[in-house]
């Protein structure tokens, strides 16, 4: 046995982990090698001194330690029993956290429902909005078409424009264009159609005044009759209107006589 | 020629082996909800764990806190105990962790001999003379000056009366590694002790 091996076995010897044969070899080496012998003696002393550290101190922990642990254990036990009987909310919360698959499914269902509901509401709303927008666009377009068509060269196109004007409602621009046509369109049929279209708005002050003004210029008795029918309606001419017409030489005498007789009968 | 005395070093180990099945039963009962049975395990082992903590820290007050903490952790982490392992090594591992946490939290190294409370200083009547008393104090200080890992392995091998294989199981390393560590720890203890002796002589 060499010194290195002896050094290794020394600790095993102190730990009581040596076999009989190994111990005999070690003892032989320590007896023959002075340096290893001294070192082994020092280590052995240290090992035993280390053991005596324990002999000289109180080994037993105080009773306070046991009492403290008993109290802590009782606390722990109480808390454990309290938490082992869960209230409904805790049971529910436990179920919620214990089933991630359910959580995911429920969340997904809510999400899908939300998306569908939102899409449904939005689409209905946006459909209505779009329809309104379309309607407004069509009206604007028909007005523009009406106004521009009323200035068309072809009389038949101007007639079509008058019939279009009925679709675009009582827009100021359309009415103004119609009044213009009723007054100055060179074609009698267009003037007649325009007056016919304006008949519905004859109760509006400005339309009525414009139509009355037309009578002073209008030479066609047909148009004169149409205007007078539109203005007078069932109620007849208003005070002063017949007098004004009598002074205007253009209006046909037969028509004037007819309306004078009507005014008297009313 | 120096006489190498050998000791079994496992006086309490034999007794422990008889008790172990019961430890295991108690611990399994604790795991299954009968946490009160930890009280029996405490009665049985708290002195051991206390001594380990006391040797590691050198402080009686701190050791009592550490024992309490170790057993509370045993309760809290009772489900981490594996039924196929022994109870005591598991408890020692908890105690080691508690001690390490204590050293981390308290930054400074374990208290030295001067800090030892009077209650744990050597009883003078048990010692032959003043010189021996001083030597015991110096050795205690040398032990406390060792790095935690070396002090730990030395305490386990010298005071806890354990076999190499038991220490290896506890530390989670091989028997060879334990032998190397004990050897190095003893050599360092000797060096430190020598230095302290020289200082006190001069």
A147-165 per-position pLDDT tens digit: 888 888 888 888 888 887 7
Q: What residues of chain B, 160 to 199, have a C-beta less than 8 Å from chain A?
A: 163-164, 179, 182-183, 186, 189-190, 193
Q: Angle at CA B49, nearest 5°, toward B45 and B51?
A: 120
Domain range B124-202, CATH class = mainly alpha
Q: How far apart are CA B132 and CA B124, in angstroms?
A: 9
Chain A nearest C-alpha distance from B85 (Å): 24
Residue A62 pLDDT grade (very low, low, confident, very high; cuts 50, 70, 90): confident
Mutate to test the interface with A, among B2, B151, B194 (most CBs of A within 10 A): B2
Asked whether the predicted pLDDT for residue A204 surpasses 70, the reply is: yes
A11: contact with B, CB 8 A cutoff:
yes
Residue A59: per-residue pLDDT: 60
Q: How far apart are CA B110 and CA B60, in angstroms?
A: 12
Residue A249: per-residue pLDDT: 64
Q: Angle at CA A197, nearest 5°, toward A195 and A202?
A: 70
- For chain B, the structural domain boundaries read 12-110, 124-202
- For chain A, the structural domain boundaries read 3-47, 139-265
Nearest CA in chain A to B140: A53
Residue B3: per-residue pLDDT: 41
Q: How many CB atoms lie within 10 A of CB A11?
A: 22
Nearest-CB residue to B122 (from A18, A27, A56): A56
A17: contact with B, CB 8 A cutoff:
yes
Please, what is the angle between helix A34-55 and helix B130-145, to 10°?
90
Taking an 8 Å cut-off on Cβ atoms, the answer to whether B1 and A31 are in contact is yes
Residue B112: per-residue pLDDT: 47
User: Token pair of B134, please?
Assistant: 């001083």
User: Token pair of A94, please?
Assistant: 């436990």
Q: What residues of chain B, 80 to 119, have a C-beta less than 8 Å from chain A?
A: 119
pLDDT in tens, chain B (202 residues): 444 433 443 434 444 445 455 888 899 989 888 888 899 999 999 998 998 998 888 888 889 999 999 999 999 999 889 877 788 889 999 999 999 899 888 765 555 444 444 444 444 455 466 777 788 888 888 998 999 889 999 999 988 766 888 898 888 889 999 999 999 999 999 999 999 989 888 7
Taking an 8 Å cut-off on Cβ atoms, the answer to whether B9 and A16 are in contact is yes
Taking an 8 Å cut-off on Cβ atoms, the answer to whether B189 and A72 are in contact is no
Residue A241: per-residue pLDDT: 77
Asked whether the predicted pLDDT for residue A236 surpasses 80, the reply is: no
Nearest CA in chain A to B189: A46
Computed over every residue of chain A, the mean pLDDT equals 81
Q: How many CB atoms lie within 10 A of CB B185?
A: 23
Chain A nearest C-alpha distance from B46 (Å): 8
A210: contact with B, CB 8 A cutoff:
no
Which residues from B are below 8 Å from A44, CB to CB? Answer: 2, 4-5
Residue A89: per-residue pLDDT: 65
Lowest mean pLDDT among A30-39, A248-257, B90-99: A248-257
C-alpha distances (whole Å) from A176 to each of A159, A171, A184, A210 are 16, 9, 12, 10
Q: How far apart are CA B69 and CA B99, in angstroms?
A: 10
Q: How far apart are CA A74 and CA A76, in angstroms?
A: 5
Alpha helices for B78-174 (secondary structure H): 87-105, 130-145, 148-158, 164-171
B143: contact with A, CB 8 A cutoff:
yes
Nearest CA in chain B to A20: B6
Residue A261 pLDDT grade (very low, low, confident, very high; cuts 50, 70, 90): confident
Taking an 8 Å cut-off on Cβ atoms, the answer to whether A56 and B190 are in contact is no
CATH architecture of the domain formed by B12-110? Orthogonal Bundle (1.10)
Which residues from A are below 8 Å from B122, CB to CB? Answer: 56-57
Select, from the ranges A53-67, A82-96, A223-237, B62-76, the one with the highest average predicted confidence (pLDDT).
B62-76
Residue A266: per-residue pLDDT: 67
Q: Concatenated DSSP letters for B14-45?
A: HHHHHHHHHHHHHHHHHHTT-GGGHHHHHHHH
Which residue in the block uniquely carries the two structure tokens 């039963």? Answer: B25
């Amino acid at each position: 046995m060499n010194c290195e091996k002896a050094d290794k076995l020394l600790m095993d010897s102190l730990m009581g982990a040596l076999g009989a044969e190994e111990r005999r070899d070690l003892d032989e080496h320590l007896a023959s090698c002075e340096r290893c012998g001294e070192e082994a003696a020092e280590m052995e002393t240290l090992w035993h001194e280390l053991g005596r550290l324990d002999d000289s101190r109180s080994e037993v922990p105080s009773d306070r330690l046991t009492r403290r642990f008993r109290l802590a254990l009782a606390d722990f036990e109480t808390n454990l029993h309290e938490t082992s009987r869960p209230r409904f909310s805790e049971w529910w919360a436990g179920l919620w956290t214990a089933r991630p698959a359910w959580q995911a499914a429920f969340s997904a269902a809510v999400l899908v429902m939300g998306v569908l509901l939102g899409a449904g509401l939005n689409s209905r709303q946006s459909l209505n909005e779009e329809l309104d927008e379309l309607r407004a666009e069509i009206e604007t377009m028909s007005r523009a078409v009406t106004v521009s068509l009323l200035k068309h060269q072809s009389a038949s196109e101007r007639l079509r424009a008058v019939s279009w004007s009925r679709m675009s409602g009582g827009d100021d621009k359309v009415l103004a264009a119609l009044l213009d046509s009723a007054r100055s369109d060179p074609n009698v049929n267009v003037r007649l159609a325009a007056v016919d279209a304006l008949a519905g708005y004859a109760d509006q002050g400005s339309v009525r005044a414009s139509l009355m003004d037309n009578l002073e210029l209008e030479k066609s008795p047909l148009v004169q009759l149409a205007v007078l029918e539109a203005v007078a309606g069932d109620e007849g001419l208003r005070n002063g209107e017949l007098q004004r017409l009598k002074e205007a030489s253009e209006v046909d005498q037969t028509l004037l006589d007819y309306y004078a007789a009507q005014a008297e009968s009313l | 020629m120096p006489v190498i005395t050998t000791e079994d070093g496992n006086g309490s180990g034999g007794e422990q082996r008889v008790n172990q099945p019961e430890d295991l039963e108690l611990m399994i009962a604790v795991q299954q909800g009968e946490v009160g049975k930890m009280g029996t395990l405490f009665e049985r082992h708290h002195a051991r764990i206390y001594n380990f903590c006391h040797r590691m820290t050198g402080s009686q007050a701190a050791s009592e806190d550490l024992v309490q903490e170790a057993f509370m952790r045993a309760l809290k982490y009772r489900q981490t105990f594996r039924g196929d392992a022994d109870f005591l090594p598991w408890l020692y591992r908890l105690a080691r962790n508690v001690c390490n946490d204590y050293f981390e939290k308290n930054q400074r190294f374990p208290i030295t001999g001067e800090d030892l409370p009077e209650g744990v200083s050597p009883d003078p009547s048990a010692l032959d003379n003043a010189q021996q008393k001083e030597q015991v104090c110096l050795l205690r200080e040398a032990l406390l000056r060792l790095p935690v890992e070396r002090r730990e392995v030395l305490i386990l091998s010298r005071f806890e009366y354990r076999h190499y294989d038991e220490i290896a199981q506890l530390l989670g390393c091989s028997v060879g590694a334990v032998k190397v560590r004990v050897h190095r720890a003893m050599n360092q203890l000797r060096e430190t002790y020598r230095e302290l002796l020289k200082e006190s002589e001069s």
